[in-house]
Amino acid sequence: MTVEGWITLAAIVGVLIVLIRGLLPPSAAMFSAMVALLATRVLEPEEAFAGFSNAAPITVAALYVLARAVQKSGALTPAVRNILGDGAKPGRSLARLVVPTSIASGFFNNTPIVAMLVPQIERWADRHGRSPSRYLMPLSFAAILGGTLTLMGTATNIVVSGLLQASGEDPIGFFEVTKLGLPIAIVGLVLIIGLVPRLLPDRRSARSEVEDEVRQFTIDMVVDKSGVMDGTTVESAGLRNLAGVFLASIERDGEEIAPVGPTTILHGDDRLRFVGKADLVVDLRTMAGISSSELAATAPPDTNRPGYFEAVVGAASPLVGHTLRETGFRGRYQAVVLAIHRAGQRIDAKLGEVPLRVGDTLLLLSDPEFKDRWNDRNDFLLISGTGDAPAASLTNLIAVGMVTFGIVVSAATGTVPLVTAALVGAALLIATGVLTPGEAKDAVNIDVVVTIAAAFGLANALLVSGLADTAADGLVFAFGGLGNRGVLLGIVLATILATETITNNAAALLIYPIAISAAASAGLDQRGIAIAVAITASASFLTPIGYQTNTMVYGPGGYRFSDYLRLGLPITLSVVAITVGLVPILWPL
């Protein structure tokens, strides 16, 4: 292998280590590796920055704007109530959820679809006495399967189409991936509907845990100096027999008084620790003579009644690897972390000293504007509040529907390229007032766009350095004894392994040049191999960290890591079998 090949290998290994350990956001890792390859002369500037002039990241950015418009319009909010029904037949409710979700995900980005539906499903499950764990993972899996139905269904399809176009081939047609994606989606949905009742146990979500008597919130209140409680006993102050809430301890001059008796005298500046249900704890703020020590530094005096939020930490969050104290969480986010849930369990430790991980669910107390402030930022992958969902706007619904229809028809008929249709659609959504320019800007996930653009440079490095040919020779040697389908099997397995450990877009970009080289050596159709990489790069069903919608439902569903493997393994095996079986037939050499 050449010197350039070894340098490229070192850069790729470095990226993998950084992404797997969560040391940097994907965009920073990919861009740093690209710059390193540029500095070492492995890549020329036009090769390193090829992704920034490619249509793929621009198309993805425009489709993020469309997805944000769908989310703002509230298009799917009333649909959930009608689709799920009364919950009398859980299997039917599940089927009525996953099938429309898959169809919708074929035309809209699946991340906002899941973000919109998670809180709605949680509320529905609470009202009907159902465990949300029976619905949230299937929701994520159905959205992933739906992304395989069309070119615009997922960013990986668009990325691979951009790679094909960059190599001089025709881009992927709008419904070209449907030939492989539709059978995969149908079989996957059948497995979900049939296996969920048998394989997925009932789990308590993070929200339901804290509303249960066993899983309790705590909040500190301070006795106002010269207030009505200063100098009175606990009993006479009305703090003895609160429904659902009890006074656990008193901190006075650095010393803790516990347990607290009914005759204990309250002093000004005493810190009172209450424990109980979320909705009852917050009612303490209405009592005269005490004030919340937690919210004093986080909200202005005229803030409305605070609310509870679930916030899921994503892979690109600056919180990953840091403690709440290190990040200055309370001052930075104007919110108080009341509990941290990880892998279905509430962490029993000093919250300020717990390093946060991808998938952690933070249970927050903040003002009602918290979600609006942070909803379109990378800090949290999902923010779910306890209030009612906003009402759907008929005007916005019509505008979004017409724009989406126009994009699909234009791209599907080949009238204009998808990138053009998506950009025109995004401009129309702003022009018609569905989104403000600021909302459109905030809707674009810059981390994903930069990751895609920078990863094009790494893909080029694999080709020009000869590393792709070397890796392809090894793959053909390992699987070539099984024939052409054996080589395809090796490509599929490598893609799935990559997408479960790093981002799906990065996996597609890094595996693509190796797969194309292997296809040329084994005599497989390169276009079919490219589409196989696109489809399997999105087939992340084995872990909660391989795909961001899986991470989004991890905490709200109360799942454990093994739950994904339990349901995801049969679906993954079906994806492998269908891909290996159909690609040589659908795209013969």
Last residue of a domain, one of 255, 276, 297: 276
The range of the structural domain enclosing residue 259 comes to 217-276
Residue range 548-572, pLDDT digits in tens: 888 888 878 888 888 999 999 999 9
The three-state secondary structure class of 345 is strand
**Are residues 318 and 270 part of one domain?**
no
Q: Can you tell me the distance from the alpha carbon of 177 to that of 179, in angstroms, rounded to the nearest whole number?
A: 5
> Is the residue at 370 inside a domain?
yes
- Judged by average pLDDT, the poorest of 287-301, 354-368, 372-386 is 287-301
Strand ranges (E), 436-477:
none
Residue 525 CA from chain centroid, whole number:
34
Q: What is the structure's pLDDT at 301?
A: 37
Assess whether the previous peptide bond of 318 is cis (omega < 30° from 0): no
Does residue 463 contact residue 513 with C-beta atoms inside 8 Å?
yes
**Are residues 361 and 316 part of one domain?**
yes
> Is the residue at 379 inside a domain?
yes
> Is the residue at 375 inside a domain?
yes
Average pLDDT on 48-73 reads 87
The encoded tokens of residue 581 equal: 């079986």
Could you please report the per-residue DSSP string of 207-255?
Answer: HHHHHSSSS-EEEEEEEPTTSTTTT-BTTTTT-SS-TTEEEEEEEETTE
In which band, very low, low, confident or very high, does the pLDDT at 142 lie, cut at 50, 70 and 90?
Answer: very high
- Residues in contact with 27: Cβ distance below 8 Å, sequence separation at least 6, in sequence order: 316, 446, 447, 448, 450, 451, 454
Average pLDDT on 103-131 reads 81
**Are residues 317 and 377 part of one domain?**
yes
The three-state secondary structure class of 59 is helix
Last residue of a domain, one of 276, 297, 323: 276
Q: What is the structure's pLDDT at 304?
A: 44
Classify residue 356 by its DSSP letter. B
Would you say residue 49 has pLDDT above 50? yes
> Is the residue at 354 inside a domain?
yes
Residue range 160-206, pLDDT digits in tens: 998 888 888 888 999 999 999 999 999 999 999 999 988 888 876 65
Token pair 């809707």: residue:
443
Q: Can you tell me the distance from the alpha carbon of 33 to that of 330, in angstroms, rounded to the nearest whole number?
A: 34
Q: Can you tell me the distance from the alpha carbon of 348 to that of 263, in angstroms, rounded to the nearest whole number?
A: 31
> Is the residue at 242 inside a domain?
yes
Would you say residue 312 has pLDDT above 70? yes
> Is the residue at 490 inside a domain?
no
Average pLDDT on 44-51 reads 90
Q: Can you tell me the distance from the alpha carbon of 511 to that of 415, in angstroms, rounded to the nearest whole number?
A: 31
Structural domain count of the chain: 2
337: domain CATH number is: 3.30.70.1450
Residue range 436-458, pLDDT digits in tens: 898 888 888 888 888 889 988 88
Comparing 573 with 117, the larger pLDDT belongs to 573
CA distances to 35, 330, 371 from 9, rounded to whole Å, are: 15, 42, 42
Last residue of a domain, one of 385, 412, 436: 385
> Is the residue at 8 inside a domain?
no
Token pair 């691979």: residue:
160
In which band, very low, low, confident or very high, does the pLDDT at 86 lie, cut at 50, 70 and 90?
Answer: low
> Is the residue at 399 inside a domain?
no
**Are residues 381 and 316 part of one domain?**
yes
